[in-house]
Amino acid sequence: MPQTTNTNNEALGIYPMTAAKRGICLIVNNYNFNSDSHQKREGTILDEECLDKVFAWLGFVVEIKRDCKSEEMLSVLRELGSRNHSLMDCLVCCILSHGKEGCVFGVDGNHVPIKELTKPFNGLNCTSLADKPKLFFIQACQGTIEQKAVNICTDGPARSDDSIPSDADFLLGMATVPSFVSFRDIKKGTWYIQSLCQNLVQMVPMGSDLVSILTKVNADVSQMTKSVGVRKQMPQPAFSLRKKVVFPIPEAPPPSLPH
């Protein structure tokens, strides 16, 4: 029999954030590549430092893995998925690396599909994270094409039951849309991660939910322009969230970040 559609008008729920610790925030930071086809990712240490400060401020236990080969990346994620997260509210995983469409690279130059990175945390493989948000932020190119600027003409002045799908409750924040590059400043870090950190610090104290914060990241990064030529970047969040992700406002003052 076909399932009837649930169209009740109840307000969108919010994922509980009541644990002593929000959860684990894993940062995989690939800088020094062994492959001739991939350069060192200068500036990525600044991204790591900012993510560390911001997610620690938000109540996460931050773990950092540097310069992982492809198999090590998979091993690290699988080990994290095998842990008991029952006393945690959610999970965050930040991957900083080179990439191409649908995958990221280990420092050995071998690729890892992004779906293999998220797989250890689905409802079948990690039951202690079922019904909890799993938040992935991927700073990596998704191709080799550089986005061009587009001039805009305007008409106005310028300016049910208890079961859930196994892949529910994921958010995948990508630095760029498929097929395109993302930009990294060797002194200031990447456009995407720096904007993410700045907006978390500014908007969490306002009570903003994560999708709204990522929409602001989209707006901010879309306004940036690479100095050599007119090149743009468009981040892209995708999610199977069923509720809002609203981080509790920390009692501690927000960390100081570079501008």
Catalytic residue annotation: 98, 141
DSSP-derived secondary structure for 123-189: TTT-GGGTTS-EEEEEES-SEEEPEEP-----SSS----S---TTTTEEEEESS-TEE---EETTTE
DSSP state of 12: P
**How many CA atoms does the CB half-sphere of 76 hold within 13 Å?**
22
**How many CA atoms does the CB half-sphere of 84 hold within 13 Å?**
2
Helix (H, G, I), strand (E, B) or coil at 38: coil
Which residue matches tokens 């001739």?
36
Sheet holding 111-113, edge to edge: 99-100, 103-105, 111-113
Residue 20 tokens read as: 């002593």
DSSP state of 230: T
To which H or E segment does residue 118 belong? helix 114-118
Q: What are phi and psi of 136, to 5 degrees?
A: -115, 130
